[in-house]
Every structure is written in structure tokens, then in C-alpha cells.
Amino acid sequence: MAYPPCKGLVMHITFLGSGNAFVPQRDWGCVLVDDSILLDAGPSMLASLKRLSRNPAAIRHLFISHFHGDHFFGLPFLLLEYYFVTRTDEPLAIVGPPGVEDVVTRTMTLAYPDIMERGWPRPLHFQEVVPGAVQTIDGLDYEAVEVEHGGDVLRAFGYRLHLPDGILSYSGDTAMTDAIFDLIAGARALVIEAASQEASIVHLGREALRTILTRVPPECVVFLNHLDTPSAEPWRGLKVIVPDDLQSYDLRVTANQPPEVHYV
Ligand SMILES: [Zn+2]
Ligand SMILES: [Zn+2]
């Protein structure tokens, strides 16, 4: 259903994908904010951008939550796009767990060793997260919150983006942890994983999600992501938006008012 864009728009959120690594009816979870900020870069990200006729050069920030392939294996294809199709000299900021520059360099070298000999196709600004600090890169303030996902082997982070009119929180993949309550504090929008119905040592599960929803600020709009189901049916009754792939939402959130969400 289409609605006119709302006046006073504060956030424009597009789901380039909304699935976990296994569900066949959804592409890998990947969220585009205001056409310029990517939250993770699943393998199908570039194809989704093109289906929506969004400009790849408009992307100025990429936040990688953790180094599982379903969250960043789309980056080599995006960089390939910048070499051959969409040229730009504007920098791209890439934020990620410690070692992000090395991981991205090794991944790109593995994917396209001959092309990498040319150097990066546009300036890349890498920044490693420092949990607990407000960090800034290329004009955008954010906080990283360490979550529970990969045990001692893999560090994983959620993000709090300080957008002009409010905080957007993004969980990445996580099991239940008190850190999630730090992540969602004061948020105006939350994109949270719903990777499985049952809780595990790596994902939330339905009951954990219910608990989290009791602590979400009333003026916050909650979107599920990284879904394990093709339909919204298992999540019926929860106060959440279950997106479809390639669906966009305009959000207007006013202090002390219920949020307005328009599908566009
Ligand atoms: Zn993961
Ligand atoms: Zn994942």
C-alpha cells in the first residue's frame, strides 16, 4: 500500500534484504538509511540497490556489525561497482570491529586480486569501534555496543546512530544480553534481529524479543530484520513492523507523540 511521504520526515529506512542466512524467500538482511548509510552489506545488497534504482555513489557510511559472511560479503561487489560502473571520488566510511581494514582488504584481495592492484576505487575511511565512546566519522556520530554472538572467536556490535532528529539503533546478530538495553535506550527507531523462533547462544528467539519490547521507549518504532520466516505470521501480536525486501518506510517521530510510519 502506498502513502504520500510524510512532512517533517526524519528517517527513511529501506530493507535491501530482511532474511537470515537460510530463508529462501528473503535476501540477506541489509538496511539502507536515508539513502546514504548502510547497516551491514549482505551478499545480495548491490542487486537490491539496483532493483530500487538507488544510487550506489550516494552511500557514504557502512557499518559492519560483525565478520560473518551474510553481513559483509556484499562489499566486494559494491567496490567492483565503483571501479567499473558508478565512479565517485567521494569518500566511503567503513566502520567495523577491530581489524576492519585488514579484513576488508583481505576479502577484496581474495575476491578480485587483479583489480585490487589498482588500489581502492574511491577513498575509504576505516574506523574501528571503541565500545562505550561516542565516535565520529565523516560527520556522523555513533556509538558501538558490544553484543553476544560469536563467543571468544568473533566480536559483534550493535550501533546507535546519532541522526539529526533522533537515535536509530541496530542490533546486528546477538543472543540475549543486557547490552541490548544500552543499545535501545532513548532510540526513535530500532532494527533488531529475529533470526530464529528459539533462543540460542547466538540469536535472540521469540521470548527474548518479547522481553526487549517491554523496555523499548514508547516513541520508538521497531523493525524486525534477519528473519527466519517468509511471512510475518509468527510475529503477529508483537508491536513491530515485519518488513518485506525492497520495502521503504518514512518515519516521522515527534517528542511525546506516537510515531508515524509511512510505507513508500
Ligand atoms: Zn552472525
Ligand atoms: Zn547473520
Taking each helix axis from N to C end, the angle separating 100-111 and 75-84, rounded to the nearest 10 degrees, works out to: 70
Per-residue pLDDT, 5: 47
Q: How far is the CA of 225 from the centre of ligand 2 (A)?
A: 10
Q: If you measure from the C-alpha of residue 134 to the centroid of ligand 1, how many angstroms do you get, rounded to a whole number?
A: 24
Instruction: Spell out the residues 6+ positions from residue 79 whose beta carbon is closer than 8 angstroms to its own.
Output: 108, 112, 120, 121
Q: Report phi then psi at 63, rounded to 5.
A: -110, 115
CA atoms within 13 A on the CB side of 72: 22
Tell me the CA–centroid distance for residue 70 and ligand 2, in Å.
5
Q: What is residue 252's three-state secondary structure?
A: strand
Interatomic CA distance for residues 83 and 119, integer angstroms: 10
Domains within the chain, CATH numbers bracketed: 11-263 (3.60.15.10)
Q: From the CA of 143, how far away is ligand 2's center (Å)?
A: 20
What percent of the chain has pLDDT above 70?
Answer: 94
Query: Angle at the Cα of 33 (from 165 to 36), degrees rounded to 5?
Result: 105
Which residues touch 163 (CB under 8 Å, ≥6 apart)?
10, 11, 33, 34
Residues of the chain with confidence (pLDDT) below 50: 1-6
Ligand 1 centre to CA of 156 (Å) is 8
